[in-house]
Amino acid sequence: MSTVAENLAAVRKRIAEAELKYQRRPGEVQLIAVSKTKPAEALLEARDAGQRLFGENYLQEALDKQVIINRDDIEWHFIGPIQSNKTRQIAESFAWVHGVDREKIARRLSEQRPAELSPLNICLQVNVSNEESKSGVSLDDLPALLANVIVLPGLRVRGLMAIPQRAENVDQQRAAFATLAEALQMLNQQYQIQMDTLSMGMSGDLEAAIAEGATMVRVGTDIFGAR
């Protein structure tokens, strides 16, 4: 079985090759190591191999790991669904939140972001595949949500995030990611803003996401093994 360090090196290589292949700037795509359900030891192994961005889905589990891995050089990203009774601790303990899809949640995160910290970086999660059961705002409702969230002082809206439906092939994967990239461009023009983040691509489709402009890929399985 390969080690976390070896897996990480392989994922970094895939990212670098995709950047090259799709004419992206070398090093432009950031890697978030998604460590949900994995023990703190696995995160430490990744950190020792140079990994600095970690994505967690479950608040209590993440807080427990943050106690063990109490280091200033780690950047914590909350990527799971957000319940409104958890917003205070999320606002206090993370640098980024990727799954914001409701104004109410955004308002709470903004109000509860401690004043001594810089504004919380957020991505609005978009349901690009229009799945009934999926979280994420619809493309239709996205402009209104953005307009309401962009004025909140405790937040810095960095961009968009999506988890597209599992696709049959690379072309289908790319189509969903292209939809998100177009939405970002359109909103930047419409609101005269400069959102700079497309959080898209996971273990199985990071190349397709990078082809369409991902700036952050969120990779779990291919770094830490199956969950």
Ligand X SMILES: *Cc1c(COP(=O)(O)O)cnc(C)c1O
Q: Which stretch binds ligand X (CB under 6 A): 11-19, 67-75, 103-111, 216-224?
A: 216-224
Closer to ligand X by Cβ: residue 154 or 220 = 220
Closer to ligand X by Cβ: residue 38 or 47 = 38
Cα separation, 10 vs 49, whole angstroms: 12
Instruction: Please answer whether residues 220 and 46 qualify as being in contact, where contact means their C-beta atoms are separated by less than 8 angstroms.
Output: no
Which residue of 46, 79, 91, 122 would you call a contact of ligand X, by CB under 6 A?
79
Shortest gap between Cβ of 199 and ligand X (angstroms)?
8
Shortest gap between Cβ of 163 and ligand X (angstroms)?
5
Closer to ligand X by Cβ: residue 110 or 205 = 205
Shortest gap between Cβ of 28 and ligand X (angstroms)?
19
Q: Restricting to residues 86-115, which ones interact with ligand X according to CB under 6 A?
A: none
Quickly tell me which residue has 């917003």 as its tokens.
87
Cα separation, 76 vs 132, whole angstroms: 29
Q: Which stretch binds ligand X (CB under 6 A): 21-29, 86-94, 174-182, 218-226?
A: 218-226
* Residue 139: C-alpha distances to residues 123, 154, 186, 201 (Å): 14, 24, 11, 19
Shortest gap between Cβ of 99 and ligand X (angstroms)?
7
Shortest gap between Cβ of 6 and ligand X (angstroms)?
16
Which residue of 57, 135, 165, 188 would you call a contact of ligand X, by CB under 6 A?
57
What count of other Cβ atoms lies within 10 Å of the Cβ of residue 105?
21
Which residue of 15, 109, 209, 219 would you call a contact of ligand X, by CB under 6 A?
219
Q: Restricting to residues 173-212, which ones interact with ligand X according to CB under 6 A?
A: 202-204
Does 44 help bind ligand X (rule: CB under 6 A)? no
* 209: amino acid identity, one letter: A
| Contact residues: ligand X, CB under 6 A | 34, 36, 57, 79, 163, 202-204, 218-222
